Amino acid sequence: KNQVEQSPQSLIILEGKNCTLQCNYTVSPFSNLRWYKQDTGRGPVSLTIMTFSENTKSNGRYTATLDADTKQSSLHITASQLSDSASYICVVRRSGNTPLVFGKGTRLSVIA
């Protein structure tokens, strides 16, 4: 079954600290993996998109990694800010024009 599992479900960190969010998937055949940020009351916004051949991709303080062999991805946030408080959703696309497979998200709270 095509699934995307994220951990932890929720996380609270102090402003300025780093954190890493995890994503495991069983989606096949794999096309690409995306991380989205969803602020409360808003739609998801793409942070990174990685294809099979990409191991690491950065977007400012966000760095995503992908291990296609173990079917794992992580999103590392450096020097967290209060504005990083949001849900982070891991999404995998299968090959072909097929619907995306969404994880349930990790709810991150950054506190002062």
Partner 1 sequence: NAGVTQTPKFQVLKTGQSMTLQCAQDMNHNSMYWYRQDPGMGLRLIYYSASEGTTDKGEVPNGYNVSRLNKREFSLRLESAAPSQTSVYFCASRKVGTGTNEQFFGPGTRLTVL
Residues that bind partner 1 (CB under 8 A): 4, 32, 34, 41-46, 49, 51, 89, 97, 99-100, 102-105
For partner 1, the closer of residues 43 and 60 by Cβ is: 43
Q: What is the dihedral of CA 29, 53, 46, 24, to 10 degrees?
A: 60
CB atoms within 10 A of CB 11: 16
Minimum CB distance to partner 1, residue 39 (Å): 10
Minimum CB distance to partner 1, residue 86 (Å): 14
For partner 1, the closer of residues 31 and 74 by Cβ is: 31
For partner 1, the closer of residues 14 and 45 by Cβ is: 45
Minimum CB distance to partner 1, residue 14 (Å): 26
E-strand ranges in the chain read 4-7, 10-14, 19-25, 30-38, 45-51, 56-59, 62-67, 72-77, 86-94, 101-102, 106-111
